[in-house]
Structure 1
Amino acid sequence: MKLIDKYILKRYLVTFSVMLLLFIPIGIVIDVSEKVNRMIERKAPFNEIVVYYGDFIIYFANLLFPIFLFLSVIWFTSKLANNTEIIAILSSGISFQRFLRPFLMGATIVCIFALLMGFFLVPKASKGFLDFRNTYLRGNSYKTMETQDIFRQIGDGEYIYISNYNFLSKTGFNFTYEKFKGNKLIEKVTSNRIKYDEKTKKYSLFNYLKRTVGQNNDVLESSDKKVVKFSFEPDELTPVFYIAETMTIGELYTFINKEKEKGNTRINAYLVVLYKKYSLPVSAFILTIIAVAVSSMKRRGGMGVNLAIGIVIAFTFIFFDKVFGTIAENSDFSPLLAVWIPNMVFGTLAFYLLRNAKR
């Protein structure tokens, strides 16, 4: 590694680290000022608050690292351009591709670090961060939402359906249980309402009707109320919406495979989380190339113009990422395509800007 590579790589990593260290404390101060009243009202323990802000640092550093990386590269590359250091480097016979090499080396280091963080450390931080917010800052309002049209496979040849389910009351409506042997239906249970009892770990079925299919005649059993024990827990019906964010990469793959077998209708939301673990680190390369291409030219307006352009591009990237992720979560749009569209669009932009920068 030549001296120029060490110089640029050091500036790349140091500026990125300083950017994180500067902005994260600001985020903590803003968060404390907004939420301190709720913490006091709900008597959040001090040790849990400390752990919460430890998780807060990891969670938001991972969430916003593309913006921090992009702005830090623009910042120090603009300084190189304003000090005519880039002109001196290129005038010495070094090509623009060669000048770009230490930037890509830095992007590789950040990409690997972000990938490992996303696989193992961020899920644990996300769990602590989101659990604390829902316990002390939001309350249990997220559990009151009703989920519709739940289909699940709960065992070998056993399937259930619930038209509406409420987290808080643990009550479902229009419940159906079907048991198959091969492709043949052998048992079917229907109920207008089903309610889970946490003490007995059993379900109460109201307007209960059971049909056992026989070779010649079917056997019918009915009751106004029937207490039954099933092999599934209420939380398995509708896992909390952020559960995928709290799992390591191995746990997430296992969870998604199980939810696919159960016929979970929210499977796209979990796939978006999975694919983002790979796409977000790759964005480090794309945003680095764009940042260098935008800020390597000395402009009349100075560093401020480059930063303004950088902020617009960075927030446009985040906007694309959020919009297409939300579309995939709430429709049949391919989660894989939705997650990678921002990288494809901005990858094309990076190629175009790099081509012009060489000229």
Structure 2
Amino acid sequence: MLKIIDKYILKRYLATFSVMLLMFIPIGIVIDVSEKVNKMIANKIPFKEIAIYYFDFTIYFANLLFPIFLFLSIIWFTSKLANNTEIIAILSSGISFTRFLRPYILGATAVSIFALLMGFFMVPKANAGFNSFRFTYLNNSGVSGMRDNSDVYRQISDDEYIYVSNFNTVSKVAFNFTLEKFKNGKLLYKINASRLKWNEKDSTYTMFNYKKRTIGELDDVFESAEKKDTVFKFDLEDLTPLVYIAETLSYTDLTNFIDKERKRGSSNINSYLVVLYKKFSIPVAAFILTIIAVSVSSMKRRGGMGANLAIGILLAFSFVFLDKIFGVLAEKSTLPPIIAVWIPNTVFGILALFLLRNAKR
């Protein structure tokens, strides 16, 4: 059973974190409105769409800055406990520093579970609405910028590969289309077309300037036509996913999507893996940041709460900075995504153990 002191600290932990969110989210909304109000007026966006966008923005913003909000809220109320000599009284009563940490760990567990469930279900839906609104109404590239539609290279089956230099999402036309069919590692035939158009009425494709080369044992067979209608076992829109598709999928859908994209030979697979691994790394960060925040702010300093907050802000933004840097490295370099995503937690985990050891002294 929780003792009175546990309930007191746990209540302050959760209440301060909630208040911190309620304080900063309106500030984020006001800043976002001030930046985008001209485009909203110019594009005559319906108020209903704007209201839905800012509901999604609230979830997106809270998830994005979750580590900073949590860290600062713990430092804030723990510094107040230290300045009021409440921590000294608690430790003087015979309670060890490790035992003093228990309600903080319980609070971190509750926040982590909440963040994990949000990342699995609510955040993907919010990201879908947030990004859709941004690309539809606010981004200069418009709807066409929502898809990664240049230099598309995909493996569509175990032995078939396609390539298009560009895909127009509005007209559903692909340019410089190539399809290669292999068997036992040997090329069977290759199809080229200057354009490939999707026919929605009968679910067929029309190839323009069609050329086919079938590889023979002695001689190759060539075939050509100005226009040729055919059926393929793929949808061009599936082959050019939304640039933010991984952020909009629940955990199960994301893992299935990654498996499918890995078979297709997607060049963006690392970006998708970063999103997947962060669903777990961010909740774990709640424990690490909680230990660091308590260790830093539990001592009464000459600068008071201001000194603790200054240290807290520096550490919190350092964590976010590392998280962003290694996320980009995972997407753009050969660094394995799972290592890149967990490096910030590892670095700050070591820091947490060091600070905790000093705080116990």
In the superposition, the TM-score normalised over structure 2's length comes to 0.92
1:179 — aligned with what? Answer: 181
1:294 — aligned with what? Answer: 296
Aligned partners of 2:324, 2:288: CA distance in 1, in Å? 17
How much has 1:218 moved relative to structure 2?
3.3
Matched, 1:33 2:43: no
- Counterpart of 1:304, as a letter, is G
SS of aligned partner of 1:180: strand
SS of aligned partner of 2:130: helix
Q: 1:260 aligns with which of 259, 262, 278?
A: 262
Aligned partners of 1:166, 1:308: CA distance in 2, in Å? 50
Aligned partners of 2:317, 2:202: CA distance in 1, in Å? 51
- Deviation string 1:187-214 (CA, Å, 9 cap, x unpaired) is 2212345455667755444443202345
Aligned partners of 2:227, 2:279: CA distance in 1, in Å? 47
How much has 1:153 moved relative to structure 2?
2.0
1:315 — aligned with what? Answer: 317
Would you say the 8 A contact 1:207–1:223 is kept in 2? Answer: yes
- Counterpart of 1:6, as a letter, is K
Runs of 4+ displaced beyond 6 Å: none
How much has 1:155 moved relative to structure 2?
3.3
2:22 — aligned with what? Answer: 21
Aligned partners of 1:131, 1:324: CA distance in 2, in Å? 26
Aligned partners of 2:205, 2:168: CA distance in 1, in Å? 14
How much has 1:137 moved relative to structure 2?
1.5
2:74 — aligned with what? Answer: 73
Structure 1: runs of 5+ lacking an equivalent? none
2:214 — aligned with what? Answer: 212
Q: Which moves more between the two structures, 339-348 or 159-168?
A: 159-168
How much has 1:324 moved relative to structure 2?
0.6
SS of aligned partner of 1:11: helix
SS of aligned partner of 1:161: strand
1:335 — aligned with what? Answer: 337
Change (3 A) 1:144 1:23: closer
Would you say the 8 A contact 1:144–1:166 is kept in 2? Answer: no
Q: After the TM superposition, which residues 52-63 of structure 1 pair with which residues of structure 2 at under 5 Å, given as runs?
A: 52-63=53-64
Aligned residues: 359
- Counterpart of 1:32, as a letter, is V
Supply the RMSD in Å over aligned alpha carbons. Answer: 2.2
Q: 2:271 aligns with which of 269, 272, 281?
A: 269
1:126 — aligned with what? Answer: 127
Q: After the TM superposition, which residues 143-292 of structure 1 pair with which residues of structure 2 at under 5 Å, given as runs?
A: 143-144=144-145, 147-165=149-167, 167=169, 172-196=174-198, 202-214=204-216, 217-292=219-294
Aligned partners of 1:81, 1:156: CA distance in 2, in Å? 63
- Counterpart of 2:341, as a letter, is V
Change (3 A) 1:231 1:46: same
How much has 1:102 moved relative to structure 2?
0.8
How much identity, in percent, do the aligned residues show? 67
- Counterpart of 2:62, as a letter, is A
Would you say the 8 A contact 1:144–1:167 is kept in 2? Answer: no
How much has 1:41 moved relative to structure 2?
1.3
Aligned partners of 2:145, 2:71: CA distance in 1, in Å? 40
Aligned partners of 1:6, 1:165: CA distance in 2, in Å? 58
Would you say the 8 A contact 2:135–2:145 is kept in 1? Answer: no
Would you say the 8 A contact 2:136–2:143 is kept in 1? Answer: no
Aligned partners of 1:63, 1:284: CA distance in 2, in Å? 13
SS of aligned partner of 1:232: coil
How much has 1:171 moved relative to structure 2?
5.1
2:5 — aligned with what? Answer: 4
SS of aligned partner of 1:311: helix
- Counterpart of 2:263, as a letter, is E
Aligned partners of 1:164, 1:225: CA distance in 2, in Å? 19
In the superposition, the TM-score normalised over structure 1's length comes to 0.93
Q: Which moves more between the two structures, 22-31 or 101-110?
A: 22-31
How much has 1:173 moved relative to structure 2?
4.7
How much has 1:112 moved relative to structure 2?
0.5
Q: After the TM superposition, which residues 84-99 of structure 1 pair with which residues of structure 2 at under 5 Å, given as runs?
A: 84-99=85-100
Aligned partners of 2:272, 2:288: CA distance in 1, in Å? 25
Structure 2: runs of 5+ lacking an equivalent? none
- Counterpart of 1:302, as a letter, is G
